[in-house]
Each structure stands twice: as structure tokens, then as C-alpha cells.
Chain A
Amino acid sequence: MSKRRFEPPRLLLAAASLRRAARVPRDRMLEVAERYREPESLAVTVSKALNAGAEGVLATPSPVLDTALGELGRVVPLYAVLPDLPHTGRHDLNPGRVDPLSTDRVNDGGMGTLWTRISHAWLLARRDIGALVRLRIEAEAGRIRRKALRGVVVAAGITDLALAGEHRIFFERLTSFIHGRFGARAAFETLNLGLLLERLREWEVRPDFVVGPVNPRGVMTKPSLPATLDEMARSQVPVVATQLRATGLVTLDEGARFALDHGALGLAPDLADMDDVGAELTRLRGWREEKVRLEGSRSA
């Protein structure tokens, strides 16, 4: 498989706020949930985003999203954030939610996951996170139209768990698994971008891209803004930047320019970051292209 086939996306529409998984003020979250309660309104927005140059949607599949994409009558490239993790937090009292890879769901996927269940029986019995995630991704990605699946982005809740455990093999094997099994880009979402880039560099593991917060105010950039920017400069793993607006402290324009200026290859603003998706994505695409042109002329 050629490397070119796994090139990272430059502009995505992120939809974490649909599942109230984006970190934005509660009022904004409720506003977005209300706005996109009907799949039709979401379909219109996705269509505008694609027309404005977005290369796909970065989201965990959900009934609302599936219905919206189905209404468009065209293949919408999906960068699926998997596995679908329930809301977690220290106030969660349900032990099943604690373990993001509860065995309750290991048998999902039917025949599609049979081979993995057999071939990884030993690792599954040892509750190896790599094997458990692989199974969950197989089960969940199996429900996505193969034509639409452009990338599998491992959810931050899992990525950061494996990152804290310094589970190098998890990152290494999952990348090649996603390439081989789905022929799609393999990526990791994280809330600890600087630390993940540092570890990937040390381990010499190269997923197709990573997705994480980048903004000028340092909101959610861990371990710190300078350390994250430093790693972005050193890393050979492309970054697709999220949390561009720093939960509303800066404009999308400021956040996007900052991320691009500091080495982010792609941008993934969330629905909650924009009021006029079509216009704002068009502007972002223009800057990206301008930046690429300028860099091209400089190197020439």
C-alpha cells in the first residue's frame, strides 16, 4: 500500500459536541445540541462544510450523524473516532463505564470479529488493551460504509490510558492493524498532545496523524504550551489541531493561524466553534492553501 494513500487530512469538520464530548461552556453545548437535534439540519451543515473544502467529518458515529450523512445522497468521508466510549468521570458510579473496554461489549461484531477473537484469545484473556481496542474497533468500524471510512482515530480516552502506561506496542500494532484491516488512515486522538508526540518520537512510532488541542492560550495543551509547540516542531507525525478557539477565548481565525504557524498540518474545528460553518471553513481553507503556497515559494 502506498504511503500516499494514507496522507493526513488538511481540513475536517469535527462533531464531538454532538455527543457533548467537546469541552465548551455548557450554554454553548446546549445551543449546539438544540441546533442539530434534527438530522436534517446537521445534514445541511455537513454539506456546507464539504462544499467549503472540508475533507470529511471527524466524529464518533451516532444515530443522529448516521441519519444526517445518509440523507446527503453522497459518500461523506468519515474519520471515525473509535471506540465509542461512554461519558466517564469521577462522578460515574457505574463500574461498566469505568472500564472503557468492558468485556460486556467484546462479543459485539459477530462474525466480523471472529478471527480476532480466536487469534487474540490469549491477549484478550490477559485483558491486553491493544487486543481489546482492536476488537472494539473492528466491531464498530464494521457498521460504517467501507467507502466512507477514510480513517480510524483512536479515541482520546483510550490513547491517553495507553500513553500513561507507556504502552509502545499498543501504538505500534494498532497503526499497522488499521492500515491492514481497513485500508484507512490510522490516527490517535489525545488530550495530552505534547506528551504523546514526545513518546511517539522516542518510540519511533509513526501513525498517519494525531489529533489534539492546539491554541494560543494553551488551553488543554499538555504538558504545557511551550512543550507542546516544541514537540510539534520536532515531531515527524502530522498534527490535526482541535480546540482551536480555546473554549471560546480566541476567535477561530486566531486559533487556526496559530496552529498552522506552529506546525499543525490539518485543522479540525468543531461544530461548537462555528456559527457559519460554510463561510468559516472556506476562510480556513484559503489560509491553508496560502500558507502552503508561501512555504513552497520560500523553499523554491
Chain B
Amino acid sequence: MAAPVLVTRESSRPGGESPRPLKPVRVAVVGLGRAGLAHATVLATIPDCELVGAVDRRGEARARLRGLGYRARPFASQPRMLAALQPDVVFVCGPQHERAAAAREALEAGAAVFVEHPLGVTLEEAEGVVARAAETRRPLACACSLAFTPVFGRAHDLVAAGALGSVRQARSSMFVSRVFDNAHPVHHQPGPIAGGVLAQIAAELLFVLVWTLGRPVEARATSSRMYGNLEDEVHAMMTLAGGAEVGLDCSWSMPGYPEPATVIELEGDNGKMLVSDDGIEADLAIARGGLGAGQTRLRSAELPQIAAFDWGGEATYLMDASFLAWATGGPKVPNQGEFALQVHRVMDALYRSARAGGELQRIEP
């Protein structure tokens, strides 16, 4: 007899306007490492979401999920899971070099697919996944929790509403204290990975920049390696179609940042805006986009906190629940596959530039 599945309870009092699937949805998680476990935890708390299957070739990882109380049916291989369960949605969270193939396979099986970032180890892999999603007409999204962090979402909305007018210049940074020697597990992955700090961490900041400001047309970057073959720091400069310059600095080897710290400074025709994990500070010449003239300070905690479950903050819940909503007929998500591919192209250009010693690279549409 098959193990009983966990059916998430219908919340008696859902949190405000928290996103949720429009109808009951059956979900499987592929890969039960850090990301897979986090998604399983959050998915289990989303109303109308049923975690039906979990895939990991490691018996220990499957046991760990069961040990946490989950009753999702465990599988050692994705094809078997897809054939047995035919889930509506698959969250692909396995090792990076396996994600693109797993995503294509799940799309071909008719599932909507959410892939942990990056979408592929190479740009070609990412393009292949997005092409398959288009062919199968199934929803595809790539993780970007920063876009679902309320403060960065609000900053995007303010810029889109024209609060700053035309943006002339942007600077940004993302720092975290993680990699301080080559013994760090990121240097010992089971297969190739997309890159170092830019691909693993700052890709989310890059996503938010492209989402908020538009796609750059050219880019240049330099990088430095201190602890191994992956870059530990990147300094990048991108140019938007209108001529605005966008800078990005990132490091995963910066002391003093046990939690990641992200900052974006924007300067436009109508004033300036500073966006950080702690909030938004704006100084506008005239009232626009919902902000008054002069200085405005909006703290993160003042923004609506609509996620119904806190797992390291709001973002993971909102990201997963929004995707399930889209997969069941709701509105599209900002991190849909096609957009994630655009961001991947920018990242690819930055890596090409860094390899060429900072040479300017065109970014193809």
C-alpha cells in the first residue's frame, strides 16, 4: 500500500491577501538538499497544496524528509516519480548540473516547473529549458526570492510608477560572509556549477536590477578569486538602453555579514532612492508614484507582511505560493522562465567580460 500523502490543511484564517493556488494542486520536490527542504517546508503550509512526492537518490535525504513528519511518497529517480504520480507542479532543486535536464523532463511530463536558480549551468542549458517550456506551454519559473522580499518588490513598483522619473544611475551591492577557504563545500560540488558569487548569490540582485531598471545593452566586469577556482568578488558596470549606468559589487567573502546585505542606490530625474533590506529612503523633487515630495522613509516592517508562514522571512512563501497560483491559472510571476533567461544572458555577458579582463560585452536581446 502506498504511503499516505500529506495534505496541507485548509487554513481557517489565511493571512490577508496571501497568494495561494486557485485550486488544489499536487506538488513534487526533486532534490532534498538545502533548497528542496526549504521548499518542502513552505509548500506544506500553503493552503490547497498537497506535497505528493519527493525525489532524491540519497536514501538518507529521503529518510530525513520522512523523519520530519512528511508523508510524501519518496522516490530515488524523477522518471519513476513522474510516471507514478503525475504531479501538477515539480520543484527542481537537485544539484545544479542536473537541474536543466530534470526541468525539461518534468515539463515534457506535463508539469509546471519551478527551478532553483540558476536556470542552467550554462546559457545554452537555460535556453534549452525555456524553449521546452514554450513548446509544452507549461509554466516555468526560476527562483529569485529577493524579488519577493517586500521591500525590493515595493522599490520595483515605485520605480515602475515613475517616482524617480527617468533613472540616470544606479549602484548596488550584495555582501555576505560565507566563503573563506577552498574547503568550503561550494568548491566541492558533485558536478559543474554556473559560477561563483555572481551565479550563486548575486544573481538575485542582478534579477532585481533587470526587473526594476530594464535589460542592459552592454556590460563589463572584473572578478577576483581568493580561495579557489570560483570568483569570490565581482565588480560590474552595465549600461541601459537609455544610457544609464548600473553598477553591481558582490562578494561572499566579506567579513561582518552573517546575513546577506543588499543595497541599491538609484538616482533619477526626480530624485534619489536608497533601497536596502531595512527599508526604502527616497528624496524626491516633486510628489510622484505614490511618494510625496522631499524625504520619505519606509521601513521594511511597515510593508504588508502577507505570507502565512515565516521561513527565514516572507520571501520563500510568497515566491512558492505565487508560482502555485500561476500554475493553477492565476497571474504570471515576475520570475517566469523567459525573464530569468534574460537575466542569465546578462550574467553570461558579465562572465565573458570578466574572463576577457573587463572587456565591454554586448548583450543580445
Contact = CB atoms under 8 A, between A and B. Distances in A.
A197 to B, nearest CB: 12
A195 B307 CA distance: 12
A166 to B, nearest CB: 6
A23 to B, nearest CB: 8
The binding surface of chain B is classed by DSSP as: loop
A28 to B, nearest CB: 9
A247 B63 contact: no
B261 interface: yes
B67 A98 contact: no
Interface stretch (A36-44, A84-92, A172-180): A84-92
B69 A170 contact: yes
A26 B176 contact: no
Interface in B144-199: 145, 176, 178-179, 184-186
A218 B11 CA distance: 18
Contacts of B42: 164
Contact of A218 (B18, B45, B300, B305): B305
A249 B303 CA distance: 11
Give the most central of B45, B201, B252: most A CB within 10 Å.
B45
B4 interface: no
B35 A90 contact: yes
A191 interface: yes
A94 B179 CA distance: 9
A178 B186 CA distance: 37
Contacts of B122: none
Given A94-B185, A129-B69, A248 B299 contact: yes
A195 B60 contact: no
A192 interface: yes
Contacts of A164: 40-42, 44-45, 68, 309, 311
Nearest to A25: B278
Given A93-B184, A127-B64, A164-B44, A222 B178 contact: no
B311 A160 contact: yes
Nearest to A231: B13
Contact of A219 (B176, B184, B305, B316): B305
Contacts of A126: 63, 66-67
Nearest to A130: B67
A97 interface: yes
A93 B178 contact: yes
Contacts of B276: 26
Contacts of A99: 37, 64
B309 A192 contact: yes
A203 B162 CA distance: 51
A95 B33 CA distance: 7
Contacts of B277: 26
B38 interface: yes
Contacts of A217: 301-302
B37 A98 contact: yes
A24 to B, nearest CB: 9
A92 B70 contact: no
A219 B309 CA distance: 12
B278 to A, nearest CB: 4
Interface in A87-124: 87-99
Contacts of A249: 299, 301-302
Interface in A232-272: 246-249
B15 interface: yes
18 contacts: A90-B38, A90-B145, A90-B312, A94-B178, A129-B67, A129-B69, A132-B67, A160-B311, A164-B44, A164-B45, A164-B311, A167-B69, A194-B13, A219-B305, A222-B308, A224-B14, A227-B15, A249-B301
Given A26-B276, A90-B312, A222-B309, 16 more contacts: A89-B260, A90-B35, A90-B143, A90-B316, A91-B201, A91-B260, A93-B178, A126-B67, A160-B41, A161-B68, A165-B41, A166-B44, A167-B68, A220-B310, A223-B11, A223-B18
A36 B14 CA distance: 40
A33 B269 CA distance: 39
Contacts of B64: 99, 127
A162 interface: yes
A217 to B, nearest CB: 7
A87 B184 CA distance: 15
A298 B205 CA distance: 56
B290 interface: no
B70 A165 contact: yes
Contacts of A224: 13-16, 308
A94 B184 CA distance: 7
B244 interface: no
A132 to B, nearest CB: 7
Contacts of A191: 310-311
B37 A166 contact: no
B274 interface: no
B254 interface: no
Give the most central of B66, B67, B185, B261: most A CB within 10 Å.
B67
Give the most central of A89, A93, A98: most B CB within 10 Å.
A93
